[in-house]
Structure 1
Amino acid sequence: MREISQKLTEKLEKRKENNAFRTLSTNSFCIDFSSNDYIGFSKNKHISERVLEKVHSFQNVNGSTGSRLISGNSSLYQEIEQFLANFHQTESALLFNSGYDANVGFFSSIPQRGDTILYDELVHASIRDGIRLSNANAFGFKHNDLESLKLKFQRAKGDVYIVVESIYSMDGDAANLKEIADFCQENNCYLIVDEAHSTGIYSENGKGFVDFLGLNDIVFARIHTFGKAIGCHGAVVLGTKNLCDYLVNFSRSFIYTTAMPVHSLLTIKESFEELKTTNAIEELKSKIQFFKETIKELDLDKKFIESESPIQCCVLSGNDFVKNIAKKLQENSINIKPILSPTVPKGAERLRFCIHSYNSIEEIQEVCSILKQAIQEFQPEMILESLETVH
C-alpha cells in the first residue's frame, strides 16, 4: 500500500509539534459536558419506541436506494417537509442529509457570480466551505459588529447575502439579529441564519432564535440542523417554495447524494413531535442558569465568554494548558474536550462546556469545582487576558 506524500506527512508532524494533533476516541466517560445532545433526545425512549413502532410498516427500511431525484424520494419525505414547514410557520422546507450538506449546498448554489456574501467571521466551517465553492465575492466582518458589516457592505455588488449563526458554536453567544435584520431590510439584503445551536431550545416548542425574536418574515432562509438538540441527524432549509425548488435543481449536495432512510426520517418527525410536550427545554434553562451562578460563586465567570445558551466557554490560552485542564476533568470521568488552535484562534484556546437538561446539580457543582482546582494546579500565576482581545 502506497504511503502518503512527504508534504502531507510533514503537515501531520507539524500538527504534533504544535500539540494540535487530532485523534478519534470512544466515549467512556460517565458525566457528559461535551455532547450537543442538549435536551437528551438522542437517548429519549419515547422517541425511539415510537420510531420502532412505525418503521416496521415500511418496506425496504434498510436503505433509500438512491438520491431523491432518482429513487430515494417518498411520500414520507414530503410529509415531513410539509410538517416542518408548518411547524416553523414558513412556506416551504427542504431536507438535507446533514447541516454540512445544507450549508455547502445552499451557499455554493444560491449566490451567483457578481453577487456578494458578507459573513460573520465566526460562522461555521460548513458555511465557509460553501462560500468557497460559490462564484460570488465574499467578505468577512468582525463578530457581531454592525459597524464592521456596514464597512464591508460598501464593497458589495449585485445581490447581497448576509450570513450569521443565531448561536455561535465556539463561543455560545447570540447574534445581534434584530440589528442585522433591520440593516438587511433597509439595504435590501438577503439574510441567512444558521440555527444549528438554537433549534429545539429557543422559542415556543424549540422553534429557534429567529422565531423567538419574531423575525420569521424578514429572514430569507433559516437552516436548522438535527444533530444537536433534536438528537438525530439531517437538516432542513426553510424559505419560499421558489427557494426550495431552486435548491432541488442546483444544489449539488442535495442532487448527488443518497437520500436518508426511513428510520432517519421517522426519527426527525418523532423528535419534533416530542418538542411539543417535553419539559426538557425548561429544565435546560434552569441548569444553564445554575451553571452560571456556580462559576460566579467560584470567581470563574470572568474567564467565560458571556452566553445564555447551553454552550459555556472558558478561555484558557495555549494548547498545552487547556489540554492539561481537560485531562484533569477527564480523569474524574467528566466528558469534556479541549478546543485547540487552529480550530479557534491562537491564544483563544478553550474548554467548551455543553450544559444539558439531564446534568444534575451535583454534576455541575463538581465540574466547576474541579475546573477551579485544575487551573490553580497547572498555572496558578496565570492572568487570563481580557475577552475583548479574543474577538
Structure 2
Amino acid sequence: EACKLSGYKIKIFKHNDMGDLEQKIEKTKGKKLLITEGIFSMDGDWSRLDKISQLAEKHGIITILDDAHGDFVLGKDGKGTANFFNVEKKIDLYISSLSKGLGSFGGYVCGKKSLVDLCINTSKTFIYTSALPASINQYSLKRFNSNREKYRKKLWEKINLFHKRLEEIQLQTTSTSQIIPIIIGKEKNAMEFSKFLRDNGIFAQAIRYPTVKKDQARIRISITGWLSNEEIEHSIQILEKAKRKFKLK
C-alpha cells in the first residue's frame, strides 16, 4: 500500500530470481528502493538475501527488509534473516513485528539514523498513531532480553520434526521454515479442507485469492516452540487423513 501511495513506479521481480532482479534494476532509471521479506509469509521459503544485498550494493540501491517472520527465528540469538546471511550492515531499513516470534504486539523500524528520522518526521501512519501502552513495551523488552537462543533452538526442533513427518506421509510443501503451506488449489476445496481440520481439533485457516494467486489456495500452518511432540503427531495423522479425503498429491 505504501508503494502504491508513493506515486512512484513499482516493478516486481520474479520470486528469488536474481537474473530477473538485476535486469529490472538495469532497465530502471533514477533512484531506487529494493524491498523484500526475510521469510516469505505465504510460502515459508527464505529470501536470497545474500545475493539481493550484493546486487543492491553493486547498483547503489537502498535496501528495505521486512523480517516479520524471520526475526527471533533465524540468526544467532534470533537476530533475523540478515544476521543469518551476515549482511546486517547492508540493510538500510529493517522493519519487523513484535507479534510473531516474540509473541507480543506492535512492530518497529530501525536502520540508518537519516532514514529513521525521515520516517519519524514524514510517516503519517506513525505521526497519527497512538504509542503502544507501557505494559506492552515492558513485556516486549522482557521477552527481547530473555534467553532467546534457548527458545529458538526449541522452535527449530519442532519445525524440523514437523517437516520430517510431512515428508514421511508424502505431503509436499515448498517451505523451509516455521510457516508451512499445504497447497490445495481451488478456493472452495481449501475452505472444506480447513473445516475438516477444525472438526478434528486443528485450527489452520485457508488462505485464498487475492492473498495468493487464483487456484493456489492453501492451508497455512504455523509451528510454535510450545507444541508437544504428541500434538505434532496428532496433526500429522489428521493431515494424512485429509490428504486421502481430498486426494492431494
TM-score higher than 0.5? yes
Which stretches of structure 1, 4 residues or longer, exceed 3 Å deviation after superposition? none
1:126 corresponds in structure 2 to none
1:121-270 alignment to 2 at 5 Å?
129-270=1-142
Q: Are the equivalent residues in 2 in contact too, given 1:200–1:206 (CA < 8 A)?
A: yes
- Distance in 2 between the 1:345 and 1:332 partners? 28
Deviations 1:40-79 (A, max 9, x none): xxxxxxxxxxxxxxxxxxxxxxxxxxxxxxxxxxxxxxxx
Contact 1:166–1:198 (CA<8 Å) still a contact in 2?
Answer: yes
2:237 is the counterpart of 1:369: yes
Distance 1:176 1:318 in 2: 29
In structure 2, C-alpha distance between the alignment counterparts of 1:167 and 1:332, rounded to whole Å = 29
Alignment partner of 2:185 out of 313, 317, 342? 317
Which of 289, 304, 307 is the equivalent residue of 2:160? Answer: 289
Letter paired with 1:205: D
Preserved contact between residue 72 and residue 148 of structure 2 (Cα < 8 Å):
no
Q: CA deviation at 1:277?
A: 5.1
Deviations 1:331-378 (A, max 9, x none): 111111111122111111111111111111121122122112122123
Structure 2 residue runs of 5 or longer lacking an equivalent are none
Relative to the length of structure 2, the TM-score reads: 0.95
Instruction: Give the TM-score of the pair, scaled to structure 1.
Output: 0.61
Root-mean-square deviation (Å):
1.4
Do the aligned residues in 1 keep the contact of 2:183 with 2:219 (CA within 8 Å)?
yes
Contact in 1 for aligned 2:78/2:149 (Cα 8 Å): no
Task: Indicate the SS of the match to 1:246.
Answer: helix
Structure 1 unmatched ranges of 5 or more? 1-128, 385-391
Counterpart amino acid of residue 233 in structure 1: F
Q: Within 1, Cα distance between the matches of 2:206 and 2:134?
A: 36
Cα distance between partner residues in 2 of 1:278 and 1:180: 27
Question: How big is each residue's C-alpha offset from its partner over 1:7-45, in whole Å with a ceiling of 9 and x where there is no partner?
Answer: xxxxxxxxxxxxxxxxxxxxxxxxxxxxxxxxxxxxxxx
User: 1:325 touches 1:375 (CA, 8 Å); kept in 2?
Assistant: no
Query: Cα deviation per residue 1:181-200 (whole Å; 9 max; x = unaligned)?
Result: 11111111111110100111
Partner of 1:99: none
**CA shift at 1:278, angstroms?**
5.8
Rg larger in structure: 1
Aligned length: 249
Give the C-alpha shift of residue 132 in structure 1: 0.8
CA distance in 1, matches of 2:238, 2:81: 33
| Matching residue of 1:349 | 217
SS at match of 1:217: helix
